[in-house]
Structure 1
Amino acid sequence: MNRWFETQNDSLSTLLPRLERAWRLRKAPIVEGLRPGLTDDAIDALMAPTGLVPPGELRTWWRWHDGSAGGESIGPGSWQFGSLAEMIQTLEYWRRFQASSCDASEPAVWKSSWFPAVQRGPNHVLHVDTSAATTAGEAPVGNAEPFDDEPRDVVRATSFTQVVGLWLGLIESGTFTLVDGYWDADWNSLPTELKTGRLI
């Protein structure tokens, strides 16, 4: 996957201005709805009832912008940039789903340490494992769908920073382009590891 972008050593705080610049250059609809970022105090207050501590890279994500109104796509994968409050609502949805729909003898659909970072509606999310955050503030990323047959705890990326780097690289390289306001690519030309990696 790394051969598709050259940002694997960049910090998230370096990648995010580039991502916004790429959106603005392409007149991506997401730009119009970008909200101001949150303070650390606001992040702490919102997160406190969840019992989870957000890794540093998620703090950076919502300090940058508190999501984008309107549900427009970030880019590859059609992921939506929800506000922190919206993602907490998604967390509550998944916790209810885990509690009411899953047999205790089966692998958990949603683990207590997971927190959703982006979503395509509440039924499909990329989440970070807050219990596995490194001292650098990065945490592994997985995906969740309610009735997915694949193992639930597959690590799709080593960090959310890596995921953002992938999206940015696919946009900057022209692999994904905006067509009538929607991000598109020649799907048949993409390598199998991208098409099956659940990140796009």
Structure 2
Amino acid sequence: MLARLDAWVAREVPLHHATLRPGVTDAALDAFEVRQGVTLPPALRALYRWHDGGDLFGLKFLSLEHLEFQRVAWAELAADRMTDLDEVVVSHPPGAIRLLYATGDWLPFLHDGGGNHVALDLHPGPTGRPGQVITTGRDEEHRFVLAPDLDTFLREYLRRLESGRVTVRRLSGFHDETWEVRLQEPGGRAPDGYVVLADLFPAFGAAPERMDTRPH
């Protein structure tokens, strides 16, 4: 599956493919688990053995080092018990994601550059599943389960790419070589902008089928 994803990115957005760093070793992943006291799901280990970050999935794919940095930061925020921030969090579907602003139980692997992430949730809410893929972050008051696990998330993303349900376009601006990869809605639309990260993954899990087109 990752080989097929690699081939698609190399063919359709070679400049993004060039940003993908070499994968990390099993020894590095083992050391991460020891330092952080967690067991990484097999699919996440496979993802980081494949590449250690770059431009992927229309967002920034975090390196293992930056994943660890963000997890530690969330754990520290959780230790401060900032319960007033918890009060604004909403889970989609209800009960699947714990209503916490931050926790070390999330492993972020994608980010938008503005404090928002797609992450694996190791300790879900009562109706969720360990290892589910969720949206979270500073601007993500409404948080969505995108897939029950990383393997399902990757397979669905690849299915959209290979079936042509994606828009690849050159962005105007100072840099002529800037490109955008955006999944289309079921009806074929891929509008500019987004409000929440779930808008970038239409009809994934609990994500809405139609994007909100207001600027983020």
TM-score, normalised with respect to structure 1: 0.72
User: Structure 1 pair 163/44, CA: closer, same or farther in 2 (3 Å)?
Assistant: same
Aligned to 1:115: 107
**Higher strand fraction (1 or 2):** 2
Structure 1 unaligned segments of length 5 or more: list them.
1-14, 133-137
Separation in 1, partners of 2:184, 2:75:
36
| Higher RCO (CA < 8 A, seq sep 6+) | 1
Shift of 1:119: 1.7
**2:60, 2:110 within 8 Å by CA — same for their partners in 1?**
yes
User: Structure 1 pair 122/149, CA: closer, same or farther in 2 (3 Å)?
Assistant: closer
4+ runs of 1 displaced by more than 6 Å?
A: none
Q: Any residues of structure 2 matched to 1:43-122 within 5 Å, and which?
A: 43-68=29-54, 72=55, 74-75=56-57, 78-100=58-80, 102-103=82-83, 106=87, 107-121=99-113
* Equivalent residue letter for 1:86: H
Cα displacement string for residues 125-165 of structure 1 (whole angstroms, at most 9, x for unaligned residues) = 11112357xxxxx8211110224333x5x533111111111
1:189 match: secondary structure: coil
The answer as to 2:157 corresponding to 1:167 is yes
Separation in 2, partners of 1:43, 1:178:
33
Aligned to 2:146: 156
The answer as to 2:20 corresponding to 1:34 is yes
Structure 2 unaligned segments of length 5 or more: list them.
88-98, 125-129, 171-178, 190-201, 212-216
Cα displacement string for residues 83-103 of structure 1 (whole angstroms, at most 9, x for unaligned residues) = 101111121232334344721
**2:167, 2:184 within 8 Å by CA — same for their partners in 1?**
no
**1:114, 1:129 within 8 Å by CA — same for their partners in 2?**
yes
Separation in 1, partners of 2:76, 2:25:
29
User: Equivalent of 1:139, from 127, 131, 140?
Assistant: 131
Aligned length: 173
**Higher helix fraction (1 or 2):** 1
**1:79, 1:119 within 8 Å by CA — same for their partners in 2?**
yes
Between 187-196 and 49-58, the greater mean CA deviation after superposition: 187-196
TM-score, normalised with respect to structure 2: 0.67
Separation in 1, partners of 2:72, 2:188:
35
User: Structure 1 pair 96/188, CA: closer, same or farther in 2 (3 Å)?
Assistant: same
User: Structure 1 pair 101/59, CA: closer, same or farther in 2 (3 Å)?
Assistant: same
**1:143, 1:198 within 8 Å by CA — same for their partners in 2?**
no
User: Structure 1 pair 197/28, CA: closer, same or farther in 2 (3 Å)?
Assistant: farther
User: Structure 1 pair 145/29, CA: closer, same or farther in 2 (3 Å)?
Assistant: same
